Structure 1
Amino acid sequence: MLNFLKKQAALLWAKKHVRKARVSGNNAPQDQEMLLLDLVRKAEKTLFGRERDFENIHSVKDFQKKVAVSDYEDLKPYIERMKKGQANIIWPGIPEYFAKTSGTTSGSKYIPISHEGMPFQVAGAQSALFHYIAQKNNADFVGGKMIFLQGSPELEDLYGVKTGRLSGIVAHHIPGYLQKNRLPSWKTNTIEDWETKVDQIILETEHENMTLISGIPPWLIMYFEKLTEKHGKKIKQIFPNLQLIVTGGVNYEPYREKMEDLLGGMVDIIQTFPASEGFFAFQDDYTREGLLLLTNHGIFYEFIPLEEYGKPGASRLTLKDIELNKDYAMILTTNSGLWAYSIGDVIRFISKDPYRILVSGRTKHYTSAFGEHVIAFEAEEAIKATLQKFPAQITEFHLAPQVNPEEGLPYHEWLIEFEKKPENPEAFRHELDLQMRQRNTYYDDLISGNILQPLRISYLQKNAFQDYAKSQGKLGGQNKIPRLANDRKIADLLEVYKL
């Protein structure tokens, strides 16, 4: 009876929430501008606000004139002052938290999360679930157990500011109605070694009625593989009531085929787009592509056309200016004090009503040793299209340029860990190259002009990417290996795993 009441309550909440969200999204461009000015007014007396003359900012154009686009290195001097306990630096008071990231580009980063910003981190995930429940008209999963594969919830104290991984911070804010159903235990979540942690999670979950599982795809796969090896069964046989997987952090599509194979049955998937800097978007319709951009969650967005990014005088567009199917670097101004901050993600809009996006890559993760500027979205779509034509299955890949081969022309090297290798490797390679040429005209020109030879594939041994991550101290949690690089730093380290 209790479970029935929980499900009915969840359905009512979900439908009410979705109706309210639709209304609030109707005037997104105008509301975004009002939000920016509200953030500026609140931060006028901060050190950053005084330096940038916030008192005389009365429009988006004023803001763009006075506040340059920045990244973490630009913000770091302010962060260092905040880490020493100084208040009113980039946002009133001191942060409620610092989210410590692995920092693939700038070392460890300390991203401030304010008292005002923290609720939106949780609200984004809640909204994703409410949209799913309302659309599905089914809340059965709330009656079962739920796994959140995440970082340790243990937090350090840094001059009065609690500091840790974002997922560990969020663990302190999971609503009470989910806490009783939540696994793994607090003790298990604090285990630092990822392999030990996953083994313990299996012990705690393998005989439970699991209905929802959340985590980034590579680590969900690791958990599922260990379960299937132990029990000799597919995941849906182990967890017959598993209804929903919530994932984020990386594009799900390249993992879809392997996940479906491990699952062995129908499970709904919701993709999300969270980061330490904010919760940006989620899949509001689990049956189709695209993530709903959250335009009323304390974040003002600007968008720089990717071809202009990093150049003097680059255009800074707002929602009213964007075009569909074009790649933009996403720039944030947040209610935690990040001002015109380049998060490093590249997105493209696929809808304006409502504003839906795809995450198409990273500004610093691309391959352009020869001017081709291949981004992750192009590579992921090419591999997806190729896999649809061949009975093969991949675990992970990394693309890097080979500028100085021992013989012949330079080329793109794809280092791929296959779960199931293609029966005809040469045909697979040819098709992948063709798919890349169709998606990137610059790459096509380089092949046609005999400047590059067609791509080559290097086959990696099983668990190569897990073993590499472990060797670099980046196994588990929110750690992600870049799929594209403009150098051979990762490719050279993967050499030892080649077959």
Structure 2
Amino acid sequence: MAFPFINSIISWFLKKRKHQIELFLKYPIDVQQEVLSKLIFTAKNTEFGQTHGFTSITNYSEFAKNVPIQKYESIEPLIERCRKGEQNLFWPTKIKWFAKSSGTTNAKSKFIPVSDEAIENCHFKAGKDMLCLYINNNENAKLFTGKGLRLGGSSDMYQDNNTYFGDLSAIIIENMPFWADYSSAPKQQTALMSEWQTKLEAIVDETINENITSLVGVPSWMLVLLHRVLEKTGKNNILEVWPNLEVYFHGGVNFNPYREEYKRLIPKKEFKYYETYNASEGFFAIQDSNNSDELLLMLDYGIFYEFIPMKHYDEENSIAIPLSEVKLDVNYAIVITTNGGLWRYLIGDTVKFTSLEPYRIKITGRTKHFINVFGEELIIENAEEALKKACKKTNATITDYTVGPIFMNETKKGGHEWIIEFKKAPENMTLFTEMLDDVLKSINSDYEAKRYENMTLLMPKIHKARKGLFYDWLDKNGKLGGQHKVPRLSNKRDFIEELLEL
């Protein structure tokens, strides 16, 4: 009988945060200005702060003038010095944690510094807010009568200089208070296992007899886990294993290609899906209402935001604007300044604002994950929408996909080559291909122009991948589990060629 009482107490505690959220909803620009001023003041005596004249900066325009926009390559020398033990380089407090980015835009690993302030005031705060917003929207939620199943990455130790690196999820789990183990599963020791297959089996064994009320993790990997749960238990759906399951908090990849499969696995009309937007560099946005596809930009996590219109995007040479100047339905690259010591850093993601009061966004893709070989400007948002509609029309479901260009030569025109792994393949692949093409033409005028009478682009070429192809590719490249993702769109043929070989 203690469980309902505990559920009520924790729910009451989490709901209190709503008043602070309402503050930045009411005064978003003031809150962002305060964040920037605090970040500059805190880091003024660091090496980076002294180099860029932080003591003389009094407003945003001076900040933008003094500090250039940065990519990882620009700050890598400072990060490497920090990993070797030097401190006070770009942030004043000691940094011993580094989130190893899966590096979907290039093969090289990135090591993103994670300060204690970023863990406490960004990532942990966001985790509480995720629950706060869900509970405020669902008065009858009973999350804390059971446990949340978390699916994260592994942790490896960088031993030379007493600094540590791993997936961000592993760093968060490492730093959680001891009591967190009581409300989540699997236990910390299992969650941090490095070998994916072994960990998968251990998680299934540990959780199938627990009262799991929520799921947290990347959709593609969570699906692998849920299918394994059904194989192990012999049940028909996940609710037969965990009848009190009520919400799935997901992020990391677009959910649309996986939605139908989740509905099949969790056949519960009132089941909730809540999207989050976080990365190694910080936690940025959370779905703040039921059944929404918009994310509320969280403005008081120690992150100052700037945006570059993609029409004028030129990497570090771009001109960024502050939050106060953004407009609806414009594709922007995000630039962040954080309490982890990243200054005007290009994270490589693109978003559109769907609302300015409050500031809500949709993730549209990556600055490097698009196809524009022929001037078609195909972004992930287009690809996901086309897949969703083509699947619905042909009653198909997909597991994974990637797209690359077919380059022109003297004898042939260009095109797009798709490799799609279906969970349930369409009966008529020709119809599926035509539907996909039609949707792309209807939502992307540049693509439509290039496809006009096959003038530049031919009909998409689609390969139906064998089962497990993308899993094998990730395994081959040491990217199983955690936050690793399949590259979706590319201007090159590298991924396509590798996958065709497999």
Length-normalised TM-score, structure 2: 0.95
Alignment of 1:5-154 (within 5 A): 5-104=5-104, 105=106, 107-119=108-120, 120-153=122-155
Contact kept in structure 1, 2:216 and 2:250, CA below 8 Å = yes
Aligned to 1:268: 272
The verdict on how the C-alpha distance between 1:77 and 1:486 changes in structure 2, with shifts beyond 3 A counting, is same
Check if 1:308 corresponds to 2:278.
no
Larger displacement relative to structure 2 (400-409 or 454-463): 400-409
Which is worse superposed, 202-211 or 328-337?
A: 202-211
Matches within 5 A, 1:184-199: 184-199=186-201
Q: What is the deviation of 1:311?
A: 6.0
Identify the residue that residue 424 of structure 2 maps to in structure 1: 420
Please point out which of 395, 398, 402 is paired with 1:391. 395
Return the alpha-carbon distance in structure 1 between the equivalents of residues 180 and 84 of structure 2.
36
Measured after TM superposition, the shift of residue 340 of structure 1 is 0.4
Aligned match of 1:173: 175
Q: CA deviation at 1:40?
A: 1.2
2:108 match: secondary structure: coil
Pick from 326, 329, 336 the counterpart of residue 333 of structure 2: 329
Stretch of structure 1 that moved more, 238-247 or 100-109: 100-109
The count of aligned residue pairs is 497
Residue 313 of structure 1: how far off its partner (Å): 5.8
Query: Which segment is superposed worse, 241-250 or 224-233?
Result: 224-233
CA-atom RMSD in angstroms:
1.9
Q: Contact conserved, 2:251 with 2:276, CA < 8 A, in 1?
A: yes
Structure 1 segment 262-301 matched on structure 2, within 5 A: 262-266=265-269, 267-301=271-305
1:233 aligned partner: 236
Q: How does 1:401-416 map to 2 (within 5 A)?
A: 401-404=405-408, 408-416=412-420
Q: Deviations over 1:54-104 (max 9, x none)?
A: 122111111111111111100011111111211211111431422222223
* TM-score calculated relative to the size of structure 1: 0.95
Give the conservation status (yes or no) of the 8 Å contact 1:378–1:439: yes
Q: Which runs of 5+ in 1 are unaligned?
A: none
Q: What are the superposed Cα offsets for residues 108-139 of structure 1, whole Å, 9 maximum, x if unpaired?
A: 21111122221121110110111101110123
- Residue 417 of structure 1 aligns with an amino acid whose one-letter code is E
Q: Residues of 2 paired with 1:123 and 1:351: CA distance?
A: 23
How far apart in 2 are the matches of 1:236 and 1:291?
27
8 A contact 2:235–2:241 mirrored in 1: no
Amino acid at match of 1:150: G
Report the AA paired with residue 287 of structure 2: Q
Alignment partner of 1:371 out of 349, 369, 375: 375
- 2:469 is aligned to 464
Matched residues in 1 for 2:176 and 2:487: separation?
A: 30
Higher alpha-carbon deviation: 336-345 or 222-231: 222-231
**Distance change in 2, residues 1:460/1:233 (3 Å):** same
1:493 partner amino acid: E
Provide, for residues 21-70 of structure 1, a one-character-per-residue CA deviation record: whole Å limited to 9, x for no partner. 11232111122122212211221211111111112211111111111111
Aligned to 1:491: 496
- Partners of 1:347 and 1:361 within 8 A in 2: yes
Deviation larger for 482-491 or 303-312: 303-312
Q: Is the 8 A contact 1:11 1:137 kept in 2?
A: no
Gaps of 5+ in 2: none
What aligned pairs does 1:215-254 form with structure 2 within 5 A after superposition? 215-230=217-232, 231-254=234-257
**What is the letter of the counterpart of residue 117 of structure 1?**
A
- Residue 117 of structure 1 aligns to a residue whose secondary structure is helix
State the Cα distance separating 1:181 from its structure 2 match: 2.9
Letter in 2 for 1:314: S
Instruction: Please tell me whether the aligned partners of residues 126 and 283 of structure 2 are also in contact (alpha carbons under 8 angstroms).
Output: yes
Q: Which residue identity lines up with residue 187 of structure 2 in the other structure?
A: S
Aligned equivalents of 1:318, 1:352: Cα separation in 2: 13
Q: Which amino acid aligns with 1:180?
A: Y
Equivalent pair of 2:304/2:338 in contact (CA under 8 Å): yes
CA shift, 1:262, in A, is 2.1
Query: Deviations along 1:178-217, whole A, 9 cap, x unmatched?
Result: 4213211333223322122111211111122111111101
Report the residue type matching 2:285 in the other structure.
A
Separation in 2, partners of 1:34, 1:189: 37
State the shift of 1:473 in Å: 1.1
Alpha-carbon offset, residue 12 of structure 1: 1.6
Q: Which residue of 2 is the match for residue 204 of structure 1?
A: 206
Secondary structure of the residue aligned to 2:17 is helix
CA offsets 1:404-459 (integer angstroms, 9 cap, x no match)? 48964221111111111112211111111011112221111111161111212110
Maintained 8 Å contact 1:156/1:164: no
Paired residues of 2:146 and 2:212 also in contact (CA < 8 A)? yes
Q: CA-to-partner distance for each residue in 1:238-296, whole Å, 9 max, x for gaps? A: 21111111111111122111111222334311111111111111111132111111111
In structure 2, what residue type is equivalent to 1:41? F
State the SS of the aligned residue for 2:405: strand
The residue type paired with residue 236 of structure 1 is L
CA distance in 1, matches of 2:142, 2:155: 28
Whole-Å separation in 1 of the counterparts to 2:239 and 2:501: 35
Does structure 1 retain, via aligned residues, the 8 Å contact 2:134–2:288?
yes
Secondary structure at 2:12 match in 1 = helix
Check whether the contact 1:114–1:335 (CA below 8 A) recurs between aligned residues.
Answer: yes
Deviates more, 1:442-451 or 1:477-486: 442-451
Greater than 6 Å deviation, 4+ residue runs? none
What is the CA-CA distance between 1:9 and the residue it aligns to? Answer: 1.1
Counterpart AA for 2:70: S
Q: Distance in 2 between matches of 1:487 and 1:375?
A: 14
The within-5 A match list for 1:356-367 is 356-367=360-371
Shift of 1:334: 0.6
